[in-house]
């Protein structure tokens, strides 16, 4: 059964992953298309690699900064090795809502990063040439050819 997260990810990938490829194929000439698509895929993978690391660093930094007063023996290695489930076990039940609020705020900073990158991508896409993706009609295929029997 599909969850709402799977549907959101599927729609996001469908909209965000294929449209740049189709736009590049429409705008670029046949001789430049392979280079353009290779460059597009390279930037797509490189951006994902870089910003996963940036997001992880942002999350850990904010968590360490905001959780240090609540959990005195917290260090970066504990966060990296254990994750969110370890945090639940490190605090008492009365402090758990505060820890979850801090975790939520830390994840919210990642959403702001993604929102900024999406806005940057939108602004960059406005610089692309606007062309129709509809194919050109071939006049030779429309013309009727009469064949005379031999």
76-116, pLDDT tens digit by residue? Answer: 677 677 777 777 777 778 888 888 898 899 899 999 999 99
Higher pLDDT: 145 or 100? It is 100
Residues 110, 5 contacting (CB under 8 angstroms) = no
**21-35 pLDDT tens trace:** 888 888 888 899 999
**Domains of the chain, residue spans:** 9-128
What contacts 29, CB < 8 A, 6 or more positions away?
A: none
Place of tokens 């353009």: 36
């Amino acid at each position: 059964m599909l969850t709402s997260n799977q549907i959101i990810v599927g729609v996001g990938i469908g909209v965000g992953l294929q449209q740049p490829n189709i736009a590049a194929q429409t705008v670029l000439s046949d001789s430049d298309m392979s280079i353009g698509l290779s460059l597009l895929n390279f930037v797509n993978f490189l951006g994902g690699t870089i910003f996963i690391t940036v997001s992880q660093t942002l999350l850990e930094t904010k968590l360490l900064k905001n959780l240090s007063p609540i959990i005195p023996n917290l260090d970066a290695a504990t966060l990296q090795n254990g994750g969110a489930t370890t945090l639940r076990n490190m605090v008492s039940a009365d402090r758990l809502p505060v820890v979850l609020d801090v975790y939520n705020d830390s994840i919210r900073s990642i959403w702001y990063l993604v929102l900024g990158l999406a806005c940057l991508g939108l602004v960059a896409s406005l610089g692309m040439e606007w062309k129709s993706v509809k194919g050109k009609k071939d006049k030779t295929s429309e013309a009727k050819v009469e064949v005379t029997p031999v």
